[in-house]
């Protein structure tokens, strides 16, 4: 099957890439809905692991001996791997000619990496002790820290390597049908919420060590044992769903690239990615700015959310029972956040259909995020005041009203989070289609607007918090300001999708030989 001439978009500026030519050459037959559901369900295992990362790992690294102000540096892998691994995985899976298909080799490799990382993370304290680390909760464990960091980075690389091919697999199965693509992404988002709920629920349950008593060792206390069991559950779930999906859902082998096309393909991926920036319309640049500010706000909170519950709300110290109780309460709050987010995602689909201005919903939700982050200051001060009063009166424990307020805040945050996971990507698709740009490149650049702020927060939030006394509120305040500004920009600067004009369509003519 050959292309007649240089197929291009209507304005003649953007010739089709080799990947687009190959995609056009493939005409996937309709697939049953159950196969789409099977592939989408892989996200349960991915987000289960993400939920455990956000809820348990920041407190855990402090138990290993990493100071609070340096804990954020551990999270540098997330934005770095997201900035490099996801775009590359999507790009090369588009061109993969393996007999097993384009996406499945990447998904299988990623699942193997995640399995390895979970073993390193869950058993870091045990391996470190066998290698010579001393025992004791107040003593740094350098070997365990090294093992943990290596496992953590492998985990982030594996998760990022898995996500792009998995989403692309869903697009392949949809066969270019917009309704099927929308339904496939809806299933993916639904399973994201399911995985988050399960992950945060597991993280909030403090008695898992009773189920597998031998998880507790001389080097691994109750908190460590619970984390170990959570990650074992996570990898079992991911491997089960991945094996079922890859075994039952096949894909066609991609046609080989012709030699003449190989010779004309001289621009590497990142050259193509950044070269597309000069053709971005103003609307995309505004979208990227708003997304950068919003990502700054979100990561400032999610990096330290459970640590905030343990320190500021419960008033505990790392390694003490009160702090652990706060961390588990924070995991419960994140579970409520995921439940509300899942329900909001369904509501947003109907709201956007009627409003047609997703930027309005996005702007309002960003302001709601700013209000919630500002409320963390009030809750923290109220909790501190309550603790002083309790000490004066001889009472102990966390005030139920303060705990309820904190959990309610987690739940309400599910609303702007669901909007953030939906609207920006829909707007990016609309703006890029209007400008005649490739969806893959525009999504890759949008991903940079997410991970670069994460990189900034990981580098600066720990020292910034330490500058103001070592708590989490300074980062939350910065996040509140960033969210408020992003909301104002979304409401005042982002153009409505209706004003962008009709999308430019690809005109492709094919002849069979």
CATH of the domain at 70: 1.20.1250.20
Q: Residue 8's pLDDT band (boundaries 50, 70, 90)?
A: very low
Residue 472 CB coordination number (10 Å): 25
Pairing relationship of beta strands 8-9 and 2-3 according to DSSP bridges: unpaired
Please write the tens of the pLDDT for every residue from 419-436.
887 777 767 766 766 665
* Same-domain status, 347 and 201: no
Q: Residue 131's pLDDT band (boundaries 50, 70, 90)?
A: confident
CA distance 67 to 307: 13
By the 10 Å C-beta count (0-12 exposed, 13-18 middle, 19+ buried), 32 is classed as exposed
pLDDT of residue 470: 60
Would you state the structure tokens that stand for residue 265, as one six-digit string? 């393909």
Nearest to 175 by CA among 52, 24, 325: 24
Q: Residue 197's pLDDT band (boundaries 50, 70, 90)?
A: confident
Q: Residue 30's pLDDT band (boundaries 50, 70, 90)?
A: low
* Same-domain status, 80 and 179: yes
Q: Residue 442's pLDDT band (boundaries 50, 70, 90)?
A: low
Q: Is residue 453 part of a domain?
A: yes
* Same-domain status, 328 and 251: no
Q: Is residue 339 part of a domain?
A: yes
Number of domains within the chain: 2
Residues near 330 by Cβ (< 8 Å), separated by ≥ 6?
55, 204, 305, 306, 307, 308, 309, 310, 410
Higher pLDDT: 293 or 461? It is 293
pLDDT of residue 366: 93
Q: What percentage of residues in the chain have a pLDDT greater than 70?
A: 69
* Same-domain status, 247 and 290: no
Per DSSP, helices labelled H in 282-422 are: 282-302, 305-308, 321-355, 358-393, 400-412, 414-420
Higher pLDDT: 316 or 240? It is 240
- Provide the residue count of the chain: 513
* Same-domain status, 217 and 303: no
CA distance 167 to 301: 26
pLDDT of residue 275: 58
Mean pLDDT confidence for 113-141: 81
Whether residue 512 is predicted with pLDDT greater than 50 in this model: the reply is: no
Would you state the structure tokens that stand for residue 244, as one six-digit string? 């079922």
* Same-domain status, 330 and 449: yes
Q: Phi/psi of residue 363, each to 5°? A: -65, -45
Mean pLDDT confidence for 49-76: 72
Measured in whole angstroms, the distance separating CA 285 from the mean position of its chain's CA atoms is 22
Q: Residue 386's pLDDT band (boundaries 50, 70, 90)?
A: confident
Report the chain's mean pLDDT, rounded to a whole number.
74
Would you list the DSSP string of 438-490?
-HHHHHHHHHHHHHHHHHHHHHHHHHHHHHTTS-SHHHHHHHHHHHHHHHHHH
Please write the tens of the pLDDT for every residue from 443-463.
667 777 887 887 777 777 666
pLDDT of residue 449: 80
pLDDT of residue 23: 47
* Same-domain status, 318 and 204: no
Q: Is residue 116 part of a domain?
A: yes
* Same-domain status, 246 and 289: no
Q: Residue 347's pLDDT band (boundaries 50, 70, 90)?
A: confident
Q: Residue 64's pLDDT band (boundaries 50, 70, 90)?
A: confident
Domain end call among 258, 292, 309:
258
Would you state the structure tokens that stand for residue 201, as one six-digit string? 């629920």
Q: Is residue 264 part of a domain?
A: no
Higher pLDDT: 16 or 1? It is 16
* Same-domain status, 210 and 358: no
Q: Residue 300's pLDDT band (boundaries 50, 70, 90)?
A: confident
CA distance 122 to 314: 26
Whether residue 349 is predicted with pLDDT greater than 60 in this model: the reply is: yes
Whether residue 287 is predicted with pLDDT greater than 70 in this model: the reply is: yes
pLDDT of residue 104: 87
Q: Is residue 88 part of a domain?
A: yes
- Whether the Cβ atoms of residue 451 and residue 291 lie closer than 8 Å to each other: no
Nearest to 304 by CA among 313, 138, 414: 313
Tokens 């209000």 belong to residue: 371
Mean pLDDT confidence for 300-311: 82
* Same-domain status, 217 and 150: yes
Whether residue 500 is predicted with pLDDT greater than 60 in this model: the reply is: no
Segments forming the whole domain that contains residue 298: 282-513
Mean pLDDT confidence for 169-193: 69
pLDDT of residue 448: 75
Lowest mean pLDDT among 76-85, 113-122, 181-190, 253-262: 253-262
- Whether the Cβ atoms of residue 22 and residue 95 lie closer than 8 Å to each other: yes
Higher pLDDT: 332 or 501? It is 332
Domain end call among 258, 293, 322:
258
CA distance 138 to 318: 9
Q: What percentage of residues in the chain have a pLDDT greater than 90?
A: 10
Domain end call among 258, 293, 310:
258
pLDDT of residue 484: 94
Mean pLDDT confidence for 5-32: 48
pLDDT of residue 252: 63
pLDDT of residue 482: 92
By the 10 Å C-beta count (0-12 exposed, 13-18 middle, 19+ buried), 336 is classed as buried
Q: Which of 145-149, 286-290, 480-484 has the highest mean pLDDT?
A: 480-484
Mean pLDDT confidence for 376-403: 80
Q: Which of 26-35, 252-261, 370-379 has the highest mean pLDDT?
A: 370-379
Q: Is residue 342 part of a domain?
A: yes
Would you state the structure tokens that stand for residue 355, as one six-digit string? 């409003």
Higher pLDDT: 152 or 356? It is 152
> Phi/psi zone of residue 250: left (φ > 0), alpha (ψ -120 to 50 degrees), beta?
beta
Higher pLDDT: 58 or 490? It is 490
- Whether the Cβ atoms of residue 430 and residue 500 lie closer than 8 Å to each other: yes
Whether residue 141 is predicted with pLDDT greater than 70 in this model: the reply is: yes
pLDDT of residue 28: 53
- N-to-C CA span, the chain: 6
* Same-domain status, 330 and 397: yes
User: The whole model's pTM is what?
Assistant: 0.68
pLDDT of residue 24: 47
pLDDT of residue 430: 67
* Same-domain status, 142 and 241: yes
Q: Is residue 18 part of a domain?
A: no
Q: Is residue 265 part of a domain?
A: no
265-284 as b/e, with b when 16 or more CB fall inside 10 Å?
eeeebeebbeebeeebbebb
CA distance 84 to 448: 9
Q: Which of 62-76, 189-203, 249-263 has the highest mean pLDDT?
A: 189-203
Whether residue 62 is predicted with pLDDT greater than 80 in this model: the reply is: no
CA distances from 441 to 266, 300, 461 (A): 17, 27, 30
Residues near 513 by Cβ (< 8 Å), separated by ≥ 6?
1, 2
């Amino acid at each position: 099957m050959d292309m007649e001439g240089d197929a291009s978009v209507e304005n003649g500026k953007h010739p089709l890439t080799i990947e687009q030519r190959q995609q056009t050459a493939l005409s996937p037959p309709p697939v049953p809905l159950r196969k789409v559901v099977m592939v989408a369900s892989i996200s349960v295992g991915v987000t289960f692991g993400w939920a455990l990362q956000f809820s348990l790992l920041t407190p855990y690294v402090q138990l290993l001996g990493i100071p609070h102000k340096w804990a954020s540096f551990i999270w540098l892998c997330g934005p770095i791997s997201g900035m490099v691994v996801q775009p590359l995985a999507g790009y090369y899976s588009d061109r993969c000619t393996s007999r097993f298909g384009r996406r499945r080799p990447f998904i299988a490799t990623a699942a193997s990496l995640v399995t390895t990382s979970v073993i390193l993370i869950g058993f870091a304290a045990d391996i470190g002790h066998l290698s010579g680390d001393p025992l004791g909760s107040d003593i740094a464990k350098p070997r365990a820290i090294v093992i943990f960091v290596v496992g953590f980075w492998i985990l982030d690389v594996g998760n990022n390597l898995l996500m792009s091919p998995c989403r692309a697999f869903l697009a392949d199965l949809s066969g270019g049908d917009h309704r099927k693509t929308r339904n496939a992404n809806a299933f993916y988002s639904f399973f994201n919420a399911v995985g988050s709920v399960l992950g945060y629920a597991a993280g909030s349950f403090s008695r898992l060590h009773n189920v597998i008593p031998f998880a507790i060792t001389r080097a691994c206390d109750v908190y460590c044992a619970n984390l170990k069991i959570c990650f074992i559950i996570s990898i079992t779930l991911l491997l089960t769903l991945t094996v079922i999906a890859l075994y039952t859902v096949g894909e066609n082998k991609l046609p080989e690239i012709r030699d003449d096309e190989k010779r004309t393909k001289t621009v590497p991926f990142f050259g193509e990615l950044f070269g597309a920036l000069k053709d971005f319309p103003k609307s995309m640049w505004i979208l990227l700015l708003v997304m950068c500010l919003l990502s700054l706000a979100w990561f400032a909170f999610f990096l330290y959310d459970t640590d905030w519950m343990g320190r500021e709300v419960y008033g505990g110290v790392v390694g003490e029972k009160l702090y652990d109780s706060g961390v588990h309460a924070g995991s419960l709050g994140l579970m409520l956040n995921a439940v509300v987010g899942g329900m909001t995602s369904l509501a947003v689909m109907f709201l956007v259909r009627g409003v047609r201005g997703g930027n309005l919903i996005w702007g309002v939700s960003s302001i709601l995020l700013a209000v919630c982050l500002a409320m963390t200051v009030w809750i923290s001060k109220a909790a501190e005041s309550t603790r002083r009063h309790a000490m004066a009166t001889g009472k102990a424990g966390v005030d139920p009203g303060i705990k309820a307020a904190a959990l309610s805040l987690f739940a309400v945050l599910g609303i702007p989070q669901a909007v953030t996971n939906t609207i920006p990507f829909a707007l990016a698709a609309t703006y890029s289609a209007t400008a005649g740009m490739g969806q893959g490149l525009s999504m890759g650049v949008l991903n940079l607007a997410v991970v670069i702020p994460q990189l900034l927060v990981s580098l600066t939030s720990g020292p910034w918090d330490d500058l103001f006394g070592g708590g989490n509120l300074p980062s939350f305040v910065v996040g509140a300001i960033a969210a408020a500004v992003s909301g104002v920009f979304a409401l005042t600067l982002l153009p409505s999708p209706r004003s962008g004009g009709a999308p430019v369509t690809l005109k492709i003519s094919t002849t069979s030989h």
